[in-house]
Amino acid sequence: MRYTLLFHYQEATADELGPEVLAEGQRAMSAYAATLHAAGVLLGGEVLHTSELSTTVRVRDGVTQVQDGPFADTKEQLGGTIVIDVPDLDAAIAWAGQAPQAQWGTVEIRPGATHLVDGVWR
């Protein structure tokens, strides 16, 4: 069963965090990824740039509207995703609880309904 972990947290620039905190965060993220991989549950993951670099696109009445900024103007922003394949929700909750992002933000667990294999929805 596939679950996507969505990491929401308050954004901070590298300068705001400082080199030590940044290095510690990266170490924790690497360890987490290595642990997921070693357990054979990791399908993929992505850390995103901050939402000030977001662009949104909508097509309304045939007109494409492009806008700067994220989809939702909230204090906590989507900062990254990891997709895992585990037997059930309890396993997903256990992995979410081990994510470093759970310490400084919120991890949302969403079960996957379908996914792409070679360009086809499965």
Partner 1 sequence: MSSDEARAAAERAARASYGKLVALLAAPDGDLAQAEDALAAAFEQALRRWPATGVPANPEGWLLTVARNRRRDAWRKPATAPLTEDSSLTGPLEEHDPYAIGDKRLELLFVCAHPAIEEPARTPLMLQTVLGFEAAEIARAYAVPPATMAQRLVRAKKRIKQARIPFAVPDRRAMPERLPPVLEAVYGCAAIAWRGDIGEAQYLAVTLAALLGAEAEAWGLAALTTFTLARRRSSFVPLDQQNPADWDAALIGEAETYLRRARPGGPPGRFQLEAAIQAVHCDRGRTGGTDWPALRTLYAALLTVAPSLGARVAAATVVGRLDGPEAGLAALPGGAGQFQPYWAARADLLARAGRDATAAYREAAALTDDADVAAFLTARISASG
Residue type, 12: A
Half-sphere exposure at residue 74, Cβ-oriented, CA atoms within 13 angstroms: 10
Number of residues binding to partner 1, judged by CB under 8 A: 9
Inter-CA distances, 96 with 14, 67, 83, 105, Å: 24, 32, 11, 11
CA distance 108 to 4: 8
Under 8 Å between Cβ of 38 and 53 = no
12 versus 91: smaller Cβ distance to partner 1: 91
Q: How far apart are CA 94 and CA 75, in angstroms?
A: 26
Indicate whether 93 belongs to the interface with partner 1 (CB under 8 A). Answer: yes
Among 46, 76, 88, 108, binds partner 1 (CB under 8 A): 88
Binding flag, residue 102, partner 1 (CB under 8 A):
no
Piece of 26-34, 53-61, 75-83, 88-96 that binds partner 1 (CB under 8 A): 88-96
- Verify binding: residue 120, partner 1, rule CB under 8 A: no
Binding mask 11-40 for partner 1 (x = CB under 8 A): ------------------------------
Binding residues vs partner 1 (CB under 8 A): 1, 87-91, 93, 109, 111
